Amino acid sequence: MDRYAVIGNPIAHSKSPRIHTLFAAQTGQALSYEALLAPLDAFVATVEAFRAAGGRGLNVTVPFKLEAFDFADRHTPRALAAGAVNTLAFGPDGVLGDNTDGAGILRDITVNLGCPVAGRRVLLLGAGGAARGTILPLLDAQPASLTIANRTAVKAAELADEFSTGPLRPLGCGFADLAGQDFDVVINATSASLSDAAPDLPAGLYAPGSLAYDMMYGKGDTPFMRAAREQGAARLADGLGMLVEQAAESFLLWRDVRPATAPVLAELRAAL
């Protein structure tokens, strides 16, 4: 039986073992999937021991995504764009590093939520790792515009400049600079919800029919979702679907089969 795992610190809270166990049962794949706690100073040693024991692949969560990037021998284009790796695949030609987060959120928005990104005005809040991993998939979806806004405007501007080599050039700005603009899709990639807060945004950002999407999730609305409702967002969604969809992208990379995510997402939602 092929072995896979999610590695992080802390890791006991991870839903990945349940998700991949459900994927395996659904698709008839013979595999096991576990949670692997790595000491903060022993990521590489823990990965090498898992691989030597027959491990086929790993999901990587905080705080090891940058170390995983350095550990990989090769990278997918989306991992290179993100500068971080959340999926490792071990093969005869070495270690492949991928980043499935951006593809996961895009699939959740466009497929699960039925909200198109192509031709829409998209606002991405935050300029950290979560935002960075989302930019290339968003640009590939060909929105009408992509604005990256951050509390520190210069960080947003620098991040936008990094992704300005293609036909669509993102714009970077501070939160206050958003005044007078509105958007069709607003994605919160900040960590504000972890502190039970919402980004301090100008009023009037949400266009008619707009979607407010928080990468965080929990039981009930996040602070960002509550604020978005008060400010007129037509639709609200949290990041649980992103969690399941990025896992499905990893499963596809490892097993060459895409599992159905809707029943898994429904089970996780019911368990919250």
Active site residues: 65
Integer CA distances (angstroms), 67 to 24, 165, 175, 249, in order:
28, 26, 31, 21
Phi then psi for 64, rounded to 5 degrees?
A: -110, 10
Please tell me whether the peptide bond between 223 and the residue prior to it is cis, using omega within 30 degrees of 0. Answer: no
Distance of CA 103 to the CA centre of its chain: 7
